[in-house]
A and B are shown apart, each in its own frame.
Chain A
Amino acid sequence: MREPMIRGHLIMNTATSLRALCDPAEGRCFDDALSLELRIALASMQQCGWYSRRLQVELLTCFATVKRQEDSIYAGFIRCGESFVLHENPFSALLWKVLTPELFIKKQPKFWIRDHMGGGHVELESLHAHGARMRLRDAHGYDHGAIVWLGWMSRALHEIAPQGVQVMQTGWTPSTPAPADVAYEVRW
Protein backbone atom coordinates (compact mmCIF):
# COMPACT_ATOMS: atom_id res chain seq x y z
CA MET A 1 0.00 0.00 0.00
CA ARG A 2 1.31 3.46 -0.90
CA GLU A 3 2.34 5.76 1.89
CA PRO A 4 -0.08 8.68 2.43
CA MET A 5 1.30 11.95 1.11
CA ILE A 6 0.54 15.60 1.76
CA ARG A 7 1.34 18.85 -0.03
CA GLY A 8 4.53 20.66 0.95
CA HIS A 9 2.84 24.00 1.63
CA LEU A 10 0.73 22.41 4.39
CA ILE A 11 3.81 21.02 6.13
CA MET A 12 5.68 24.31 5.75
CA ASN A 13 2.76 26.32 7.14
CA THR A 14 2.30 23.85 9.97
CA ALA A 15 5.95 24.11 10.97
CA THR A 16 5.89 27.91 10.92
CA SER A 17 2.54 28.42 12.61
CA LEU A 18 3.04 25.85 15.39
CA ARG A 19 6.54 27.15 16.13
CA ALA A 20 5.12 30.68 16.40
CA LEU A 21 2.63 29.46 19.00
CA CYS A 22 5.39 28.22 21.32
CA ASP A 23 6.97 30.40 24.01
CA PRO A 24 10.81 30.48 24.00
CA ALA A 25 11.22 27.42 26.25
CA GLU A 26 8.57 25.43 24.37
CA GLY A 27 10.11 26.54 21.08
CA ARG A 28 13.49 25.07 22.08
CA CYS A 29 11.82 21.78 23.06
CA PHE A 30 9.87 21.80 19.79
CA ASP A 31 13.02 22.38 17.72
CA ASP A 32 14.99 19.73 19.61
CA ALA A 33 12.26 17.14 19.17
CA LEU A 34 12.17 17.38 15.36
CA SER A 35 13.94 14.57 13.53
CA LEU A 36 16.86 15.15 11.19
CA GLU A 37 14.75 13.79 8.33
CA LEU A 38 12.09 16.44 8.93
CA ARG A 39 14.61 19.26 9.25
CA ILE A 40 16.32 18.27 6.02
CA ALA A 41 12.96 17.96 4.25
CA LEU A 42 11.84 21.38 5.50
CA ALA A 43 15.04 23.04 4.31
CA SER A 44 14.38 22.16 0.68
CA MET A 45 10.61 21.72 0.63
CA GLN A 46 8.61 22.80 -2.42
CA GLN A 47 5.12 24.20 -1.84
CA CYS A 48 3.53 22.06 -4.54
CA GLY A 49 5.57 18.92 -3.82
CA TRP A 50 4.13 15.76 -2.27
CA TYR A 51 5.78 14.61 0.96
CA SER A 52 5.21 11.79 3.38
CA ARG A 53 2.36 12.51 5.80
CA ARG A 54 4.65 11.20 8.56
CA LEU A 55 6.43 14.56 8.48
CA GLN A 56 3.18 16.41 9.17
CA VAL A 57 2.23 13.96 11.91
CA GLU A 58 5.65 14.42 13.49
CA LEU A 59 5.17 18.20 13.63
CA LEU A 60 1.69 17.90 15.13
CA THR A 61 2.77 15.26 17.66
CA CYS A 62 5.80 17.34 18.73
CA PHE A 63 3.51 20.31 19.31
CA ALA A 64 1.08 18.20 21.36
CA THR A 65 3.98 16.86 23.43
CA VAL A 66 5.37 20.33 24.06
CA LYS A 67 2.02 21.95 24.93
CA ARG A 68 0.65 19.09 27.12
CA GLN A 69 -2.60 20.89 28.05
CA GLU A 70 -5.63 19.76 26.05
CA ASP A 71 -7.00 23.28 25.49
CA SER A 72 -3.68 24.62 24.25
CA ILE A 73 -3.20 21.67 21.93
CA TYR A 74 -6.69 22.06 20.43
CA ALA A 75 -6.36 25.84 20.06
CA GLY A 76 -2.93 25.44 18.49
CA PHE A 77 -4.14 22.99 15.87
CA ILE A 78 -7.12 25.21 15.05
CA ARG A 79 -4.79 28.20 14.59
CA CYS A 80 -2.54 26.04 12.43
CA GLY A 81 -5.47 25.12 10.16
CA GLU A 82 -6.53 28.76 10.01
CA SER A 83 -3.03 29.72 8.88
CA PHE A 84 -3.51 27.63 5.72
CA VAL A 85 -6.26 30.02 4.64
CA LEU A 86 -4.20 33.08 5.52
CA HIS A 87 -1.25 31.83 3.47
CA GLU A 88 -3.18 30.65 0.44
CA ASN A 89 -2.36 31.98 -3.02
CA PRO A 90 -4.36 34.55 -5.08
CA PHE A 91 -6.44 31.83 -6.78
CA SER A 92 -7.61 30.59 -3.40
CA ALA A 93 -8.41 34.12 -2.32
CA LEU A 94 -10.58 34.40 -5.42
CA LEU A 95 -12.14 31.06 -4.55
CA TRP A 96 -13.42 32.38 -1.21
CA LYS A 97 -15.17 35.17 -3.11
CA VAL A 98 -16.93 32.82 -5.52
CA LEU A 99 -17.87 30.05 -3.08
CA THR A 100 -21.05 29.81 -1.07
CA PRO A 101 -21.06 27.80 2.17
CA GLU A 102 -23.08 25.02 0.48
CA LEU A 103 -20.68 24.81 -2.44
CA PHE A 104 -17.70 24.90 -0.10
CA ILE A 105 -19.05 21.92 1.82
CA LYS A 106 -19.97 20.10 -1.40
CA LYS A 107 -16.39 20.53 -2.60
CA GLN A 108 -14.78 19.23 0.60
CA PRO A 109 -13.88 15.84 -0.93
CA LYS A 110 -12.17 17.70 -3.77
CA PHE A 111 -10.30 20.03 -1.40
CA TRP A 112 -9.11 17.02 0.58
CA ILE A 113 -7.81 15.31 -2.56
CA ARG A 114 -6.10 18.53 -3.64
CA ASP A 115 -3.94 18.50 -0.52
CA HIS A 116 -3.77 14.79 0.42
CA MET A 117 -2.82 11.72 -1.56
CA GLY A 118 -4.09 8.51 0.02
CA GLY A 119 -4.74 7.88 3.69
CA GLY A 120 -8.34 8.97 4.11
CA HIS A 121 -11.17 10.72 2.37
CA VAL A 122 -14.01 13.13 3.13
CA GLU A 123 -17.61 12.00 2.76
CA LEU A 124 -20.58 14.33 2.71
CA GLU A 125 -23.51 12.89 4.67
CA SER A 126 -26.08 15.66 4.50
CA LEU A 127 -26.27 19.18 3.17
CA HIS A 128 -29.07 21.68 3.70
CA ALA A 129 -29.54 25.45 3.48
CA HIS A 130 -27.80 26.28 6.79
CA GLY A 131 -25.74 23.28 7.70
CA ALA A 132 -24.12 20.03 6.79
CA ARG A 133 -22.70 16.82 8.21
CA MET A 134 -19.66 15.09 6.85
CA ARG A 135 -17.00 12.63 7.88
CA LEU A 136 -13.29 12.22 7.53
CA ARG A 137 -12.90 8.48 7.02
CA ASP A 138 -10.00 6.03 7.07
CA ALA A 139 -7.44 8.62 8.17
CA HIS A 140 -5.65 6.07 10.36
CA GLY A 141 -2.29 7.31 11.48
CA TYR A 142 -3.02 10.95 10.67
CA ASP A 143 -2.65 12.09 14.27
CA HIS A 144 -4.38 15.42 14.95
CA GLY A 145 -4.93 16.00 11.22
CA ALA A 146 -8.71 16.13 11.71
CA ILE A 147 -8.45 19.18 13.98
CA VAL A 148 -6.13 21.05 11.67
CA TRP A 149 -8.65 20.39 8.88
CA LEU A 150 -11.39 21.71 11.14
CA GLY A 151 -9.40 24.91 11.70
CA TRP A 152 -8.95 25.31 7.96
CA MET A 153 -12.68 24.74 7.29
CA SER A 154 -13.77 27.18 10.00
CA ARG A 155 -11.51 29.92 8.74
CA ALA A 156 -12.41 29.37 5.09
CA LEU A 157 -16.13 29.40 5.94
CA HIS A 158 -15.57 32.59 7.87
CA GLU A 159 -14.07 34.11 4.71
CA ILE A 160 -17.07 32.93 2.67
CA ALA A 161 -19.82 33.73 5.20
CA PRO A 162 -18.39 36.02 7.87
CA GLN A 163 -21.21 35.61 10.40
CA GLY A 164 -22.53 32.74 12.45
CA VAL A 165 -20.28 29.93 11.26
CA GLN A 166 -19.92 26.95 13.60
CA VAL A 167 -17.88 23.83 12.93
CA MET A 168 -17.78 21.04 15.51
CA GLN A 169 -16.22 17.63 15.49
CA THR A 170 -16.68 14.39 17.35
CA GLY A 171 -14.14 11.65 17.39
CA TRP A 172 -10.85 13.38 18.08
CA THR A 173 -9.35 13.83 21.54
CA PRO A 174 -5.69 14.34 22.45
CA SER A 175 -5.61 10.73 23.67
CA THR A 176 -7.28 9.44 20.45
CA PRO A 177 -5.51 11.66 17.92
CA ALA A 178 -6.32 9.58 14.84
CA PRO A 179 -9.74 7.90 15.13
CA ALA A 180 -10.94 5.91 12.12
CA ASP A 181 -13.84 8.34 11.65
CA VAL A 182 -14.21 11.99 12.58
CA ALA A 183 -17.65 13.54 12.20
CA TYR A 184 -18.04 17.24 11.41
CA GLU A 185 -21.18 19.23 12.05
CA VAL A 186 -21.20 22.54 10.19
CA ARG A 187 -23.70 25.37 10.68
CA TRP A 188 -23.87 28.80 9.10
Chain B
Amino acid sequence: MDQELTPSELLDLRERVVDALIALSEVGFGDYSVDLTVDAKNRHPLNSVFAGINELVSAFGIDQEQASAFRRELEEKLGIVEKQRAAIRELSTPIIELWEGILCLPVVGIMDTARSTEMTNALLQAITAKKTRYAIIDITGIEVMDTRTVDHFMRMARSIRLLGAECALTGMSPHIAQTVVHMGLELDDIVTHRSLLDALTHYVNRSP
Protein backbone atom coordinates (compact mmCIF):
# COMPACT_ATOMS: atom_id res chain seq x y z
CA MET B 1 0.00 0.00 0.00
CA ASP B 2 1.22 3.53 -0.83
CA GLN B 3 2.57 5.46 2.08
CA GLU B 4 1.19 9.00 2.36
CA LEU B 5 3.70 11.82 2.63
CA THR B 6 3.76 13.99 5.73
CA PRO B 7 3.42 17.77 5.18
CA SER B 8 7.13 18.27 5.87
CA GLU B 9 8.04 15.51 3.39
CA LEU B 10 5.75 17.10 0.85
CA LEU B 11 7.40 20.47 1.39
CA ASP B 12 10.83 18.90 1.06
CA LEU B 13 9.75 17.23 -2.18
CA ARG B 14 8.41 20.50 -3.57
CA GLU B 15 11.61 22.30 -2.60
CA ARG B 16 13.76 19.71 -4.34
CA VAL B 17 11.64 20.00 -7.49
CA VAL B 18 11.92 23.79 -7.34
CA ASP B 19 15.72 23.56 -6.96
CA ALA B 20 15.82 21.27 -9.97
CA LEU B 21 13.62 23.61 -12.03
CA ILE B 22 15.76 26.62 -11.12
CA ALA B 23 18.79 24.72 -12.36
CA LEU B 24 16.91 23.53 -15.46
CA SER B 25 15.84 27.08 -16.26
CA GLU B 26 19.55 27.71 -16.92
CA VAL B 27 19.47 24.79 -19.36
CA GLY B 28 16.55 26.51 -21.05
CA PHE B 29 18.85 29.45 -21.75
CA GLY B 30 21.49 27.14 -23.21
CA ASP B 31 23.74 26.46 -20.22
CA TYR B 32 24.37 22.72 -20.25
CA SER B 33 26.89 22.75 -17.41
CA VAL B 34 24.01 22.33 -14.95
CA ASP B 35 24.36 19.44 -12.52
CA LEU B 36 21.45 18.62 -10.20
CA THR B 37 22.59 17.53 -6.75
CA VAL B 38 22.31 13.80 -6.24
CA ASP B 39 22.95 12.73 -2.67
CA ALA B 40 24.31 9.19 -2.92
CA LYS B 41 23.84 8.53 0.82
CA ASN B 42 20.21 9.56 0.76
CA ARG B 43 17.84 7.08 -0.94
CA HIS B 44 15.34 9.75 -1.92
CA PRO B 45 13.34 8.66 -5.00
CA LEU B 46 14.10 11.96 -6.74
CA ASN B 47 17.82 11.11 -6.72
CA SER B 48 17.48 8.70 -9.61
CA VAL B 49 15.27 11.20 -11.50
CA PHE B 50 17.91 13.92 -11.02
CA ALA B 51 20.69 11.54 -12.06
CA GLY B 52 18.73 10.79 -15.23
CA ILE B 53 18.17 14.49 -15.92
CA ASN B 54 21.91 15.14 -15.42
CA GLU B 55 22.71 12.48 -17.99
CA LEU B 56 20.20 13.87 -20.48
CA VAL B 57 21.43 17.45 -20.07
CA SER B 58 25.04 16.34 -20.43
CA ALA B 59 24.24 14.36 -23.60
CA PHE B 60 22.24 17.26 -24.99
CA GLY B 61 25.13 19.62 -24.22
CA ILE B 62 27.55 17.39 -26.14
CA ASP B 63 25.12 17.26 -29.08
CA GLN B 64 24.76 21.04 -29.04
CA GLU B 65 28.54 21.46 -28.98
CA GLN B 66 28.90 19.12 -31.96
CA ALA B 67 26.10 20.89 -33.81
CA SER B 68 27.81 24.25 -33.19
CA ALA B 69 31.11 22.84 -34.46
CA PHE B 70 29.38 21.52 -37.61
CA ARG B 71 27.65 24.85 -38.10
CA ARG B 72 30.94 26.73 -37.82
CA GLU B 73 32.58 24.30 -40.24
CA LEU B 74 29.69 24.66 -42.69
CA GLU B 75 29.82 28.46 -42.46
CA GLU B 76 33.56 28.38 -43.17
CA LYS B 77 33.01 26.13 -46.19
CA LEU B 78 30.20 28.33 -47.47
CA GLY B 79 32.54 31.30 -47.11
CA ILE B 80 35.19 29.52 -49.20
CA VAL B 81 32.59 28.58 -51.83
CA GLU B 82 31.42 32.19 -52.01
CA LYS B 83 35.00 33.44 -52.42
CA GLN B 84 35.62 30.88 -55.16
CA ARG B 85 32.39 31.88 -56.85
CA ALA B 86 33.48 35.51 -56.80
CA ALA B 87 36.87 34.55 -58.25
CA ILE B 88 35.19 32.53 -61.01
CA ARG B 89 32.85 35.44 -61.74
CA GLU B 90 35.80 37.77 -62.11
CA LEU B 91 37.71 35.31 -64.32
CA SER B 92 34.64 34.70 -66.48
CA THR B 93 34.46 38.37 -67.45
CA PRO B 94 37.96 39.21 -68.69
CA ILE B 95 37.85 42.54 -70.49
CA ILE B 96 40.97 43.14 -72.55
CA GLU B 97 42.02 46.44 -74.11
CA LEU B 98 43.31 45.28 -77.53
CA TRP B 99 44.04 48.71 -78.92
CA GLU B 100 43.47 52.27 -77.91
CA GLY B 101 39.69 52.66 -77.87
CA ILE B 102 39.05 48.98 -78.62
CA LEU B 103 37.93 46.53 -75.92
CA CYS B 104 37.40 42.80 -76.24
CA LEU B 105 35.26 40.51 -74.10
CA PRO B 106 35.93 36.84 -74.87
CA VAL B 107 32.96 34.73 -73.75
CA VAL B 108 33.46 31.10 -72.81
CA GLY B 109 30.88 28.65 -71.46
CA ILE B 110 27.18 29.07 -70.86
CA MET B 111 25.39 32.41 -70.71
CA ASP B 112 22.61 32.83 -68.24
CA THR B 113 20.77 35.93 -67.03
CA ALA B 114 23.00 36.49 -63.98
CA ARG B 115 26.21 36.11 -65.96
CA SER B 116 24.89 38.26 -68.77
CA THR B 117 24.01 41.03 -66.30
CA GLU B 118 27.47 40.88 -64.74
CA MET B 119 29.16 40.93 -68.16
CA THR B 120 27.07 43.86 -69.32
CA ASN B 121 27.81 45.82 -66.15
CA ALA B 122 31.53 45.10 -66.33
CA LEU B 123 31.72 45.92 -70.04
CA LEU B 124 29.73 49.15 -69.74
CA GLN B 125 31.89 50.30 -66.84
CA ALA B 126 35.07 49.53 -68.78
CA ILE B 127 33.72 51.34 -71.86
CA THR B 128 32.99 54.44 -69.79
CA ALA B 129 36.27 54.32 -67.87
CA LYS B 130 38.48 53.80 -70.94
CA LYS B 131 36.45 56.01 -73.30
CA THR B 132 36.12 53.06 -75.68
CA ARG B 133 34.65 53.45 -79.16
CA TYR B 134 34.57 49.79 -80.21
CA ALA B 135 33.65 46.76 -78.12
CA ILE B 136 34.21 43.29 -79.54
CA ILE B 137 32.40 40.33 -77.99
CA ASP B 138 34.18 37.17 -79.04
CA ILE B 139 32.02 34.04 -78.79
CA THR B 140 34.54 31.52 -80.16
CA GLY B 141 34.23 29.70 -76.84
CA ILE B 142 30.45 29.41 -76.95
CA GLU B 143 29.16 26.07 -78.12
CA VAL B 144 25.41 26.52 -77.90
CA MET B 145 23.33 29.59 -78.60
CA ASP B 146 19.61 29.74 -78.03
CA THR B 147 17.07 32.55 -78.22
CA ARG B 148 17.79 33.59 -74.66
CA THR B 149 21.54 33.86 -75.28
CA VAL B 150 20.95 35.90 -78.41
CA ASP B 151 18.63 38.15 -76.44
CA HIS B 152 21.40 38.69 -73.88
CA PHE B 153 23.81 39.81 -76.59
CA MET B 154 21.20 42.06 -78.21
CA ARG B 155 20.60 43.81 -74.92
CA MET B 156 24.33 44.12 -74.34
CA ALA B 157 24.81 45.64 -77.79
CA ARG B 158 21.98 48.13 -77.29
CA SER B 159 23.40 49.24 -73.95
CA ILE B 160 26.84 49.69 -75.52
CA ARG B 161 25.36 51.80 -78.33
CA LEU B 162 23.62 54.02 -75.78
CA LEU B 163 27.07 54.87 -74.44
CA GLY B 164 28.14 55.99 -77.92
CA ALA B 165 30.28 52.93 -78.70
CA GLU B 166 29.95 50.31 -81.41
CA CYS B 167 29.55 46.60 -80.67
CA ALA B 168 30.69 43.67 -82.77
CA LEU B 169 30.19 39.95 -82.37
CA THR B 170 33.01 37.69 -83.58
CA GLY B 171 33.91 34.01 -83.68
CA MET B 172 30.46 32.64 -84.47
CA SER B 173 30.77 28.95 -85.39
CA PRO B 174 28.99 27.55 -88.47
CA HIS B 175 26.82 25.49 -86.16
CA ILE B 176 25.66 28.56 -84.23
CA ALA B 177 25.14 30.52 -87.47
CA GLN B 178 22.88 27.72 -88.75
CA THR B 179 20.97 27.61 -85.49
CA VAL B 180 20.43 31.37 -85.51
CA VAL B 181 19.04 31.27 -89.03
CA HIS B 182 17.01 28.13 -88.39
CA MET B 183 15.40 29.69 -85.36
CA GLY B 184 14.65 32.89 -87.25
CA LEU B 185 16.58 35.04 -84.77
CA GLU B 186 17.36 38.61 -85.77
CA LEU B 187 20.88 39.93 -85.19
CA ASP B 188 20.26 43.23 -86.95
CA ASP B 189 21.47 45.33 -84.06
CA ILE B 190 24.83 43.59 -83.91
CA VAL B 191 27.71 43.91 -86.38
CA THR B 192 29.33 40.51 -86.93
CA HIS B 193 32.86 39.65 -88.04
CA ARG B 194 34.27 36.25 -88.90
CA SER B 195 37.08 36.41 -86.37
CA LEU B 196 38.48 38.56 -83.64
CA LEU B 197 41.40 39.42 -85.92
CA ASP B 198 39.04 40.60 -88.68
CA ALA B 199 37.15 42.84 -86.27
CA LEU B 200 40.34 44.21 -84.79
CA THR B 201 41.80 44.97 -88.22
CA HIS B 202 38.54 46.64 -89.24
CA TYR B 203 38.39 48.88 -86.17
CA VAL B 204 42.11 49.68 -86.11
CA ASN B 205 41.81 50.90 -89.69
CA ARG B 206 38.84 53.05 -88.74
CA SER B 207 40.61 54.51 -85.72
CA PRO B 208 41.93 58.05 -86.22
Contacts and interface: CB of A to CB of B under 8 A. Distances in A.
B87 to A, nearest CB: 29
A14 to B, nearest CB: 15
Given A103-B14, A103-B15, A94 B29 contact: no
Contact of B25 (A46, A89, A106): A89
B80 interface: no
Nearest to B28: A89
Interface of B: 14-15, 17-19, 21-22, 24-31
Bin chain A's interface residue count. Answer: 20 to 34
Given A98-B14, A103-B14, A110 B29 contact: no
15 contacts: A8-B29, A46-B30, A47-B30, A48-B30, A91-B21, A91-B25, A91-B27, A92-B28, A95-B21, A95-B22, A98-B17, A98-B21, A103-B15, A103-B18, A106-B15
A100 B15 CA distance: 10
Contacts, number: 48
B50 to A, nearest CB: 14
A114 B26 contact: yes
Interface centre among A91, A99, A100, A110 (most CB of B within 10 A): A91
A164 interface: no
A98 B14 CA distance: 7
Contacts of A8: 29
A111 B17 contact: no
Contact of A95 (B15, B25, B27, B29): B25
A97 to B, nearest CB: 9
B8 to A, nearest CB: 14
Contacts of B29: 7-9, 47-48, 89
Contacts of B14: 98, 100, 103
